[in-house]
Amino acid sequence: MKREIIYVESDDHGGNRNGLMHPVKLMDEEGDDFEPELTKTQNFLLELRNANIEKLKKLAGKDDVIYLHGGDITQGMKYISDWVTTTLGHQLVIAHNNHYELFRRVKNIKIARYAHGTSSHVFGNASSEMIVIPQLQAEFPKVDIRHYPHGLIELGNDFSTDIAHHGPGRGSRKWLEGNIASYYLRDRMLQELLRGKKPPDVYLRFHYHGWAKCGWNISIDDNDYWSWLFLIPSMCGINAYGRQVTKSVSHITHGALAIELVDRKILDVHRWTVTSDLRTKERIK
């Protein structure tokens, strides 16, 4: 029996005051080191990240871990008011440290794949990945680490995952959640089947900083083809622009996903997320 854990995170937005930031030393323009103070949101995300790492270690035990990241490891050039500092290089240092901590603590990660994030968040054409990933490759030579725009990861002949940063949203209304994702999934499955190929078992999409999950079965003669789509939440809080485009969303979900495989078949799916209320509550007597 071969057991493996696929661990999925995304959208850290390193360098954003609302993004994931493990404690890190940065250098100022005079050459002195300083450690930026974490915001309330960053402390929350750090506690969640640390808790999820411990859950991963407990779940995996001594079995192999495959780490998949959905993109946006840095904040990029947008929304200067949200930056930890105005030194662009600090974003790369923070991003590197965020992922260094994962590889340092989870010793049995054997494979890591990074999907390229939104161009404006990674300094254009995957520039952040091109700088950070080689550092991690040098520091963790026993881990097979790669990055690309859109991946199809095949584990032998039995299991495959399609990973890309951009995909469907969650839906514009509560009663519509999952509709767009379901249509998207069916379309992608049919495209594969019309090409004479088996659809991937799992599709992973990101970008919208929210959670969605849907599955679909297509039957052709005596064969059933099942696929699942997961829209993975972010590890970054919300800013003023986010409140605007979501029309004042009241709750936000952060966290990660772990897919437990036995003999390259899905045994279980572990959703390690926390949903928070964004509203300021008050009671006036």
Given a contact cutoff of 8 angstroms between Cβ atoms, the answer to whether 202 and 228 are in contact is yes
The pLDDT > 90 percentage for the chain reads 91
Helix spans in the chain (H): 40-60, 88-105, 127-139, 179-194, 240-245
**pLDDT of amino acid 58:** 98
**pLDDT of amino acid 176:** 81
Residue 270 has pLDDT above 90, yes or no: yes
Given a contact cutoff of 8 angstroms between Cβ atoms, the answer to whether 209 and 233 are in contact is yes
| pTM score, whole prediction | 0.96
How many residues would you count in the chain? 285
Q: What is the mean pLDDT of residues 46-54?
A: 98
Helices 127-139 and 88-105, packing angle to 10 deg = 40
Give me the long-range contacts of 185-191 (CB less than 8 A, separation at least 24): 185/214, 185/215, 185/216, 185/227, 185/228, 185/229, 186/216, 186/218, 188/162, 188/227, 189/216, 189/218, 189/225, 189/227, 190/218
For residue 176, the Cα-to-chain-centroid distance in whole angstroms is 23
Instruction: Compute the distance between CA of residue 206 and CA of residue 232 in angstroms, rounded to an integer.
Output: 5
Confidence of residue 107 (pLDDT cuts 50, 70, 90): very high
Confidence of residue 177 (pLDDT cuts 50, 70, 90): confident
**pLDDT of amino acid 59:** 98
pLDDT tens digits for 125-147? 999 999 999 999 999 999 999 99
Instruction: Compute the distance between CA of residue 224 and CA of residue 240 in angstroms, rounded to an integer.
Output: 45
What mean pLDDT, rounded, does the chain reach? 96
Residue with tokens 């494979």: 111
Q: CATH number for the 3-277 domain, one of 3.60.21, 1.10.287, 1.20.1650, 3.40.1350?
A: 3.60.21
Confidence of residue 114 (pLDDT cuts 50, 70, 90): very high
Confidence of residue 174 (pLDDT cuts 50, 70, 90): confident
Instruction: Compute the distance between CA of residue 201 and CA of residue 178 in angstroms, rounded to an integer.
Output: 18
Instruction: Compute the distance between CA of residue 264 and CA of residue 113 in angstroms, rounded to an integer.
Output: 18
**pLDDT of amino acid 42:** 98
69 sits in which H/E element: strand 64-69
**pLDDT of amino acid 230:** 98
Residue 71 has pLDDT above 90, yes or no: yes
**pLDDT of amino acid 190:** 97
Residue with tokens 């493996």: 4
Query: What are the sequence ranges of the domains in the chain?
Result: 3-277
Pairing of strands 265-277, 26-27: unpaired
For residue 189, the Cα-to-chain-centroid distance in whole angstroms is 22
**pLDDT of amino acid 241:** 85
The pLDDT > 70 percentage for the chain reads 100
**pLDDT of amino acid 191:** 97
pLDDT tens digits for 196-253? 999 999 999 999 999 999 999 999 999 999 999 999 999 999 998 889 988 899 999 9
- CA distances to 185, 186, 203 from 218, rounded to whole Å, are 11, 8, 15
Q: What is the mean pLDDT of residues 34-45?
A: 97
**pLDDT of amino acid 170:** 85
Given a contact cutoff of 8 angstroms between Cβ atoms, the answer to whether 138 and 61 are in contact is no
